[in-house]
Amino acid sequence: MPAISIIQPAAFDRTVFFVSDGTGITAEAFGHAVLTQFNLRFKQVRLPFIDDLDKAHYAAAKINETFEQEGMPPIIFSTLVKEDLSQIIRNTKCMYMDLIQTFVGPLEQELGIKSTHTIGRGQDIANSEAYKNRIEAINFSLIHDDGQSHKNLSSADVILVGVSRSGKTPTSLFLAMQYGIKSANYPLIPEDFERGKMPSALLKYKSKIFGLSITPERLCVIRNERLPGSKYAALENCRFEVNEAEAMMKREGIHWLSSTTKSIEEISSTILQELKLEKRVY
């Protein structure tokens, strides 16, 4: 039977379940989008891989148990595709928020065709073209991390630049994982500032370059975690490097963003938009 994975605040107002016949990632995203509109604390329980009757009954038992214990119907966010399984969950003492049934029915009307009710049509099934692209993009990002490789820069969709510890690696990995985008990343270092120019290997790829910056204070904290008390981490040095890097990016006409105030999702989404990536024809 499925093991339950739980996020439980010390005190909470209501229990929510994310129920899926797959990984539960979409159910969770769906649930969070709705729940963050409420200033309440939620105990969150994941129930992925609910793909047969036995598991559906097990999930239903857990939901009813919660109702018995807490005296309030838990909120269920479901992406279950099979109607028989969905019905079992719907029939519990819960408030059922069904992503699929709510929208698929009306869409059948609009599109003039029936839906397939097929489990496992998730975006990235192992071995699909899209999935292989993502794995390839992750590998590309890792090989081209931190200026390690000058090879194949022409294959990169984007080249991230910024001072050391400005968030290039997490951003390039997120771009790879979420969008299958191949990114190389390059540190801007004191030698570049002395020369007053971007690293030469990058000059012919300028239209692909996106810069990341960070506040000197935040950079100082991060660098001190890595090399405490070093000159590298000193606030003066951080200010110097950040100012030089930002001035250089402005001079070179490169788009850039601060990773201090934007999450890697926001930065990645912005990069896609600004560099007009992914106008793919397939």
Smallest distance, Å, CB 232 to a copy of itself?
16
**136 φ, ψ (degrees, to nearest 5):** -60, -40
CB 172 within 8 A of CB 183: yes
- The region of 154-162, 174-182, 189-197, 228-236 touching a copy of itself under the rule CB under 8 A is 174-182
For a copy of itself, which is the closer residue by CB, 132 or 195?
132
For a copy of itself, which is the closer residue by CB, 116 or 154?
116
Residues 110-169 that bind a copy of itself (CB under 8 A): 110-111, 113, 115-118, 121-127, 131, 135, 138-139, 142, 167, 169
Alpha helix (H) residue ranges in 36-144 = 53-70, 83-90, 99-111, 129-143
Contacts 24+ apart (CB under 8 A), 95-101: 97/30, 97/31, 97/34, 99/26, 99/27, 99/30
Smallest distance, Å, CB 195 to a copy of itself?
29
Residue from 57, 90, 239, 262 touching a copy of itself (CB under 8 A): that is 262
Task: Confirm or reject binding of residue 95 to a copy of itself (CB under 8 A).
Answer: yes
**In angstroms, rounded to a whole number, what is the distance separating the alpha carbons of residues 82 and 20?**
10
- The region of 50-58, 153-161, 229-237, 270-278 touching a copy of itself under the rule CB under 8 A is 270-278
CB 49 within 8 A of CB 59: no
Smallest distance, Å, CB 161 to a copy of itself?
19
Smallest distance, Å, CB 269 to a copy of itself?
4
Q: Is the dihedral of CA 91, 95, 100, 103 positive or negative?
A: positive
What is the total count of residues that contact a copy of itself (CB under 8 A)? 89
Task: Confirm or reject binding of residue 243 to a copy of itself (CB under 8 A).
Answer: no
**In angstroms, rounded to a whole number, what is the distance separating the alpha carbons of residues 63 and 66?**
5
Contacts of 125 (CB under 8 A, 6+ apart): 131
Task: Confirm or reject binding of residue 102 to a copy of itself (CB under 8 A).
Answer: yes
**In angstroms, rounded to a whole number, what is the distance separating the alpha carbons of residues 183 and 72?**
48
Sketch the per residue contact string, 39 through 78, with a copy of itself: x for CB under 8 A, - otherwise.
xx-----x-xx-----------------------x-x---
